[in-house]
Structure 1
Amino acid sequence: MRKLSFIFVLVLTMIATNMFSFQAEASQNSLSKTAGSLVIVGGALSSDNEAVYKKFLTLAQEYNGKALKDVKIAIIPAASAVPIESADGYKEDFVRYGVPVDNIYTAPIALIDDPLTKEVNESTWKDNGNNIEIAKKLEEFDAIWFVGGDQLRHIKTLVTADGKDTVVLKAIRKIYENGAVLGGTSAGAAVMSNPMIASGTSVGALTDGVHILKNFDQDTGDDKLFLATGLGFFTHGIVDQHFLERGRFGRLLVATQYNKTRYGFGIDENSAMVYTGVDDNIEVIGASGLLIVDLQGSSVPKGKRFAINNVTMHYLEKGDRFNVKDGTFTLNKLHKTTKGIEYYSKNPIAMDIFGKQKLKTVLTEDLIDNEATKAEALWFDMDDDKKGNGFKFTFRKTNTTEGFWGRIDQVGSYAALNVQMDVEPISIKIQIDK
């Protein structure tokens, strides 16, 4: 009878390449100088997500103190492969939540022709980021919405080839700094930071590092982590989206560490991180949650492959708040501590850490709501010789770690503060004993 035994050989000497250099004490991000707000949605926004839509509209009303019937919204459809269809879908949603249809303007800014509109070729709108009339019109609006699709299409239409603002982007930036609300989903969320994540997977990021987009037409491939110029409305760290659903925490971690910023923010699908510039506050709303990666106090061991120790992670859900300026949390009052009343007692090693929603399970059921003091996860890739390279992730409780659970909107909801994580490369050999 054959017996399979897995021999895990931990690589103890870990040198990061120059690409992964990092200062142990990450510098604070610059504080905001804007009165505006951001509704950054992690993609797959459902039309019935009342919390997200109403928050966006409430913030629009607060700008200049308008009633809902007087709110004016502009939609930027550039990222979509079907720009008019996409814009019309959001227009219908805004009308459903009380905005008059005549107050909603689809800005003619796009790269790709929408096959459903025979009377116009939207690809002729590619240079309209430099249209002064459109820019002046946008200055009259209370809210701007960026649709999803390919984030590079937003950049190609709103940023010049040498990285400067077009006149339309200048107009959007002006009203945002004066107090308007900007929102976006998926690609429309990715563009909110600068740099932004243009493409890539967690595996590609951890194994191949960061690539910088040299021009907007460069092929990014499927797996490689590319960073590119973003719109930079959110100044406190890189933003990632479709986060838990697509297992993207690896790429957010690598991107944040490479960029030498303290924070990285990963917002999940059908959820939003709502940022208010006047107080540097972030609130989580919607169906899922937000992961915050904090690299202050982290360190990078020496080695040829990516590794990092003492990363602090926080996970928040609906109604939880984080103040970027002072680093404090205000949790939903329905979130109660799990300390001393942990529900789970087992946490097997997670073998699919980049799987759908897996990171949340590891942080919550396997760690903060578990009697165990640590949880472990692996990823590795095997070759034909039964050898492989991968990474081991260790999530640890410290004396400041605390978990929370509560039933919110009739659904169980978790939060986790101050979880410590280490990432170390591993080499694996499968030995078959006869």
Structure 2
Amino acid sequence: MESQENGPLVLGDGFGFFPHGVIDQHFDRKARLGRLIVAVSAADAQQAFGYGIDEDTAFVYDASRDKATVIGAGTVVAVDAAKATFNEVGLQGVRISVLGPGDVLEFPARKVSVNPKKSLITKEYLTLEQTHLSSLFSPYSGRLEEAMGFLLTDNANENALETRVPTISGGERIIRFEQTGDTRGYWGYLDGQLDSYTVLNVSLSITPYR
């Protein structure tokens, strides 16, 4: 178990049921966004996509229709590195989408059909200022879904969220999540009680600090 969390990244072939990218699991609770980004950057151009599945969540793939549906209590984070650039000190242009229960991802176009219980955010609910992230997650919540939805796409005062993290060499990197012209946020109550977001096409960059 220790090697899974602290050892080198190991990529392997699955059973071939899902041909559209790299899969990771226990995603949000174990903060595996960084690991998945490394995995898709190491993969060939046809596998520059990754999907991080939360605990108590499934990404149900229907091969006959070439669609995958999110079910369960959590989210699936889709990482698109097809147009990203990577180097030894950081990256630019990774696209992050957070898909919630009832959302459907259609292949090969990777078009998202959002759960009809959610509505497009056209007027942000919040007006929080200087909502910087601690680590990869919000100081207000413990989930990437809430950071991308609650603090970014549903917050009128923020177009980007960022944080500085130390490196093993003694320097620091700036991790920045930023809205683009293609970013869309959706919000709704699921089962009448659960506050749920779907967030599409947030840009992620990692750059040296100073």
Q: Same fold (TM over 0.5)?
A: yes
Q: Deviations over 1:134-167 (max 9, x none)?
A: xxxxxxxxxxxxxxxx7xxxxxxxxxxxxxxxxx
Point out where structure 1 has 5 or more consecutive residues left out of the alignment.
1-149, 151-198, 202-221, 428-434
Contact preservation (8 Å) 1:242, 1:267: yes
**Structure 1 runs, 4 residues or longer, greater than 4 Å off:** none
Match of 2:151 among 366, 387, 396: 366
How large is the Cα RMSD of the aligned pairs? Answer: 2.3
- TM-score, L = length of structure 2: 0.87
Q: Tell whether 2:25 aligns with 1:255.
A: no
Matched residue, 2:60: 274
Distance 2:163 2:143 in 1: 10
Matched residue, 1:346: 129
**Structure (1/2) with the larger strand percentage:** 2
Matched residue, 1:319: 102
- SS, match of residue 180 in structure 2: coil
**Structure (1/2) with the larger helix percentage:** 1
Distance 1:292 1:269, change over 3 A: same
Q: Tell whether 2:187 aligns with 1:399.
A: no
Q: Does 241-250 or 391-400 show the bigger shift?
A: 391-400
Q: Tell whether 2:72 aligns with 1:286.
A: yes
Percent of residue pairs bearing the same amino acid type: 30
Distance 1:292 1:348 in 2: 23
Bigger CA radius of gyration: 1
Counterpart code for 1:286: G
Distance 1:223 1:344 in 2: 41
Distance 1:390 1:362 in 2: 22
Cα distance, 1:279 vs. partner?
1.5
Q: Deviations over 1:3-62 (max 9, x none)?
A: xxxxxxxxxxxxxxxxxxxxxxxxxxxxxxxxxxxxxxxxxxxxxxxxxxxxxxxxxxxx
Matched residue, 1:418: 201
Distance 1:396 1:359 in 2: 14
Contact preservation (8 Å) 2:124, 2:153: no
Contact preservation (8 Å) 2:186, 2:197: yes
Distance 2:104 2:163 in 1: 28
Counterpart code for 2:105: F
- SS, match of residue 203 in structure 2: strand
Cα distance, 1:296 vs. partner?
2.1
Distance 1:310 1:348, change over 3 A: same
User: Where do 1:148-187 residues align within 5 Å?
Assistant: none
Counterpart code for 2:174: K
Q: Deviations over 1:76-105 (max 9, x none)?
A: xxxxxxxxxxxxxxxxxxxxxxxxxxxxxx
Cα distance, 1:390 vs. partner?
3.5
Cα distance, 1:358 vs. partner?
4.0
